[in-house]
Amino acid sequence: MDREIEKNYDPKNLEFKWYKHWKENNCFKANKKNEKVFSIIMPPPNVTGKLHMGHALDIMCQDVIVRHKRMSGFNTLWIPGTDHAGIATQAKVEKKIFKEEKKTKHDLGREEFLKRIWDWKEEYGSEIINQLQQLGASCDWDYLTFTMDKTPNRAVRKVFTQLYNEGLIYKDKRIINWDTVLQSAISDAEVEYKEIKGKFYHIHYKVEGSDEVLEVATTRPETLYGDTAVAVNPKDPRFKKLIGKYAIIPICERVVPIIGDSYVDMELGTGCLKVTPGHDFNDFDIGKRHDLEVINILNPNGSLNSHAKAVEGLNANEARKKTVEILKEKELLVDVKEHKHQVAHGERSDSIIEPMVSTQWFLNVKDMAKKSYQSVKKGKMDFVPKQWENTFFSWMGEPRDWCLSRQLWWGHRIPVYQCNSCEYEFAFEAEPSECPKCQAHQLSQDPDVLDTWFSSGLWPLSTLGWPNKEEMEEKGFDTYFPNSMLVTGFDIIFFWVARMSMMSLKLMEKPPFKDVYIHGLVRDKQGRKMSKSLGNGIDPIDLINQYGCDAMRFTLANGCGHNRGFNLDPRLIESSRNFMNKIWNAFRFISPFLRRKVGNYSISTKGIDVPTKWILTELNFTARKMNKHLDDYRFDEAASTVYSFVYDKFCSWYLELSKPILYSDDKALVKERANILRFLFEELLKLLHPISPFITEEIWSYFYEEESIISQKYPVFKDQYQFEDDHEKMDHFIELVTQIRNLRASVGLKPKEKIEVQFFTDDKRTADFIYENRHYLDQLAQVKKGNIHKKEAGRPGKSTMSTTSLVETFIPLEGLIDIDIEIIRLEKQIDKTKKELEKVEKKISNSNFMDRAPEEVVIEVKMKAKDFSAKLEALEKNLISLK
RNA sequence: GGGCCCUUAGCUCAGUUGGUUAGAGCGCUACCUUGACAUGGUAGAGGUCAGAGAUUCGAAUUCUCUAGGGCCCACCA
């Protein structure tokens, strides 16, 4: 060691230092020589956004897997990217410009406004990259792709054109979800329903040419200006006879037909439905069936237009109030009932969504969805945990056509053109110079842009250069597509996973990934979703600043089990930070004994002692478990496995047992032990590295200055480190030490006070082992003298005792022992042992158990019975002698 | 209405093919400034595994029902 390690563990400096180092030294590059391939794409965060805990979890999962695969000899590629996030970004910049300059996008014009967004993207787009790097993401930055880069744009245009020419993309005037704030269409997936307390208004509609009235129930009286029919169920005896007659809509006095349609539920409301095809999905369908007129009564901002003269210019709420007032005056409002109902809100804008009829571009997804469905059913793409495939199926089962167009400016503009002279309409992959039909040069492009998820859907392809042949070659498309896996949250299974799956199957005839790992949601410590409105969000960057990224990642991994999100209490991170500190100090302890040594080396297992054989065996178990858990995406199990090895096995026992050796005068022995400690330390660093990359690299650098831990081989189970017998011996020894410590504590002996102990055992191996390791007993339990007797020997008088199956341990305590307390303690133990014994004996006396249980279980139970009764006997004898 | 998940120690959670003395971290209690670490050490207390029933020699684990909680989809004039 020529460098000395800092006294205090300070994650901040070393984390920053190492990320920079890794990046500059191309440590995240795929090793193309490796035969096994692992590839994965990062779900692209919004380019101008800020990372939240969900991202931190997402990145942690991916990075752990990626680092593990890389260390396990895979040709590993992780592709980073950022998303233009159409609506979110445009809305943000629009707001900013209005705030600062009091100008709308229309004041600036399309070209200037887009320039402003690009400027904003250039200015703030790198922030998200910085944050990803602070999380330690070991992705290949040369692959960094933005969804509006040239290649993704080409992919979008190519695919749109193909689907257009196949007739799958079509323009249609139909009812869509209209966001009244964004003033754009949005897709079904972007609509969120919230329960709102509303009212049921019962209104009388007069039947033309008679005194009869129809009582219509509605939650939205203000839409009556758009009514073009009143519908009843054709089987309804109450209203059957009215079908074919006409009703008069109140206020606007329009005469509309009374129609029969089986959609109408006779039980619901009054059994009489006002039909507003312009502003209700079901009514639109009814209108289609009956060829009804569609009247649009709303302006793009959601206010009422001139079709609703009486309330023109008012917003929906005001219009409702006023309409109700007018109805009251006319005595047509007959009843008002409280009613809870679901109201559509925009997922992004949180504004009210109005169903509105409008001309939009749609993608017919029926066949694509069917194929996606099948590919998961047939196991070509697996969800982990498996139950998430249900979510996928529920979306793919009966998909509505995807509304692709958005009335925005920021995004991929729809590549459809119309010839100004002959009006021919066509989609074109490249920028067209003339009309393919009449060769005129004056062309108008469709003003709308595509849903963000259209380009996201092509992400697994476009990030690998598709459809540009040269770029695909350069980026290794054939090697890395399809991806090995995807890591994401369940909230975007519809938005994203579904779309990627459909697109990839359509274009490549392969699903885009083998595995789709779905992690849970990070919530606050009370289990509430983190949200702006609750103000309970935790900023991962704050946590990193406070505790270090390694500790945060470790905490996230530790809490990331299957089937569950998790509730993040910052105090948990504190304990991970303490774990990092533990490792730091363990290294600080051993480092003075180490000699700097270049190159790989191995340790000899010849002549090593039992604790060393034990720790090597533990290392073996740990390596095996880590590989399994990481392969199974069990981040929680992996974290606790490595924690237990480092903390409970290595630090608490092996390091403690190494102290007398390291402080001894036998130089050869010191050297040998130091060598083994170094080996173990290197192994544990490698084991932990995928989860906590920075501290492991920092310590690694004290061993090897030139080589990064990133490219080391991940530990695996090795037969030469497996010593099962010695492992068992050592476990017995640990049990013995713990027992003595327990006895000492129970009689209130001072920690430093040396004691004498009497052991009673008939097991020769145990006796030998205690004898050979008596110096450890001194060190670990302050036993200055230990006598080993056969069980037939007499027990000491006033003493405290305890027993395992093999050995009885007595601490003679002349004058020190409080007999009453000792009796209580023994009685408690006897009680417990009796209960266990009874349990086991009951099994043995049950002939059904003896006949039917497998042999090894029977043997085990018999062994237990023997152990328990021996233990009980010893305890009872001692109790009698005390009394 | 359809579907998924959850209920285990005071708190957050493990417990993967049924057989464990049901585990961990945090918190709590007692003792300890022992030469890696007080961001520490040692020991300990704390659970009739939501409830009922069924299957089984044997259930925290499988099945059914009940209660409570969370989420998704569809729909409600």
Could you read off the pLDDT of A614-672 as tens digits, one per residue?
A: 999 999 999 999 999 999 999 999 999 999 999 999 999 999 999 999 998 888 899 89
**Mean pLDDT estimate for chain A:** 89
- Which residue's CA is nearest to the C1' of nucleotide B57? A849
The residue with greater pLDDT, A350 or A36, is A36
Distance CA A174, CA A356 (A): 8
The model's confidence at residue A19, banded by pLDDT at 50, 70 and 90, is very high
- Which residue's CA is nearest to the C1' of nucleotide B26? A572
How would you class A351 by CB atoms within 10 Å of its CB: exposed for 0-12, middle for 13-18, buried for 19 or more? middle
Mean pLDDT of A857-873: 88
Q: Which nucleotide has its C1' atom closest to residue A272's CA?
A: B77
DSSP bridge partners of A77: A39
Q: Which two tokens stand for residue A193?
A: 């329903």
**What's residue A882's pLDDT?**
77
- Which residue's CA is nearest to the C1' of nucleotide B58? A849
Residue A1 clears pLDDT 50, i.e. is over it: no
SS3 A166: coil
Distance CA A521, CA A318 (A): 38
Residue A132 clears pLDDT 90, i.e. is over it: yes
How would you class A473 by CB atoms within 10 Å of its CB: exposed for 0-12, middle for 13-18, buried for 19 or more? exposed
Q: Buried b vs exposed e over A118-153: b needs ≥16 C-beta within 10 Å?
A: eebbeebbeebbebbbbbbbbbbbebbbbbbbebbb
Q: Nearest to residue A478, comparing CAs of A111, A20, A75, A29?
A: A75
For A190, other C-beta atoms within 10 Å of its C-beta total 24
Q: Nearest to residue A137, comparing CAs of A710, A684, A712, A716?
A: A710
Tell me the per-residue pLDDT of A224-269, one tens digit each, with 9 for 90 and over. Answer: 998 999 998 888 888 888 888 898 988 888 889 999 888 888 887 7
**What's residue A212's pLDDT?**
85
Q: Which two tokens stand for residue A185?
A: 């269409």
**What's residue A579's pLDDT?**
95
Residue A42 clears pLDDT 60, i.e. is over it: yes
The residue with greater pLDDT, A256 or A599, is A256
Task: List the A645 CA – B58 C1' distance (angstroms).
Answer: 33
**What's residue A181's pLDDT?**
83
Q: Nearest to residue A820, comparing CAs of A756, A879, A745?
A: A879
Angle ∠(A329,A330,A331) on CA atoms, nearest 5: 90
**Chain B footprint bases within 7 A of protein beta carbons:** 2-6, 11-16, 19, 21, 24-26, 30-32, 34-37, 39-44, 56-58, 71-77
DSSP bridge partners of A194: A343
Are the C-beta atoms of residues A602 and A676 closer than 8 Å to each other? no
Q: What percent of chain A has pLDDT over 90?
A: 47
Mean pLDDT of A158-179: 94
Phi, psi torsion values for A357, nearest 5 degrees: -90, 130
The model's confidence at residue A455, banded by pLDDT at 50, 70 and 90, is very high
SS3 A119: helix
**What's residue A251's pLDDT?**
85
Distance CA A87, CA A347 (A): 11
**What's residue A815's pLDDT?**
64
Mean pLDDT of A405-430: 93
Distance CA A218, CA A200 (A): 6
- Which residue's CA is nearest to the C1' of nucleotide B70? A527
Task: List the A636 CA – B23 C1' distance (angstroms).
Answer: 14
Distance CA A441, CA A430 (A): 15
Task: List the A586 CA – B35 C1' distance (angstroms).
Answer: 14
Mean pLDDT of A722-733: 90
Mean pLDDT of A806-827: 79
Task: List the A749 CA – B30 C1' distance (angstroms).
Answer: 12
Task: List the A808 CA – B52 C1' distance (angstroms).
Answer: 45
Q: Which two tokens stand for residue A869?
A: 């009764």
In one letter, which amino acid is A309? K
Q: Nearest to residue A60, comparing CAs of A568, A636, A547, A554?
A: A554
Its pTM stands at 0.92
* A35-44, A191-200, A530-539, range with the lowest pLDDT: A530-539
Task: List the A318 CA – B21 C1' distance (angstroms).
Answer: 70
**What's residue A2's pLDDT?**
54
- Which residue's CA is nearest to the C1' of nucleotide B13? A559
Task: List the A641 CA – B9 C1' distance (angstroms).
Answer: 21
Mean pLDDT of A424-442: 92
Distance CA A260, CA A699 (A): 79
Mean pLDDT of A523-547: 80
The model's confidence at residue A317, banded by pLDDT at 50, 70 and 90, is confident
Distance CA A310, CA A854 (A): 84
Percent helix, strand and coil across chain A, each to the nearest 5:
50, 20, 35
Mean pLDDT of A472-487: 95
Residue A853 clears pLDDT 60, i.e. is over it: yes
Question: How far is the first Cα of chain A from the last one, in angstroms, to the nearest whole number?
Answer: 61
How would you class A195 by CB atoms within 10 Å of its CB: exposed for 0-12, middle for 13-18, buried for 19 or more? exposed
The model's confidence at residue A816, banded by pLDDT at 50, 70 and 90, is low
DSSP bridge partners of A215: A204
Task: List the A42 CA – B60 C1' distance (angstroms).
Answer: 38
Q: What percent of chain A has pLDDT over 70?
A: 98
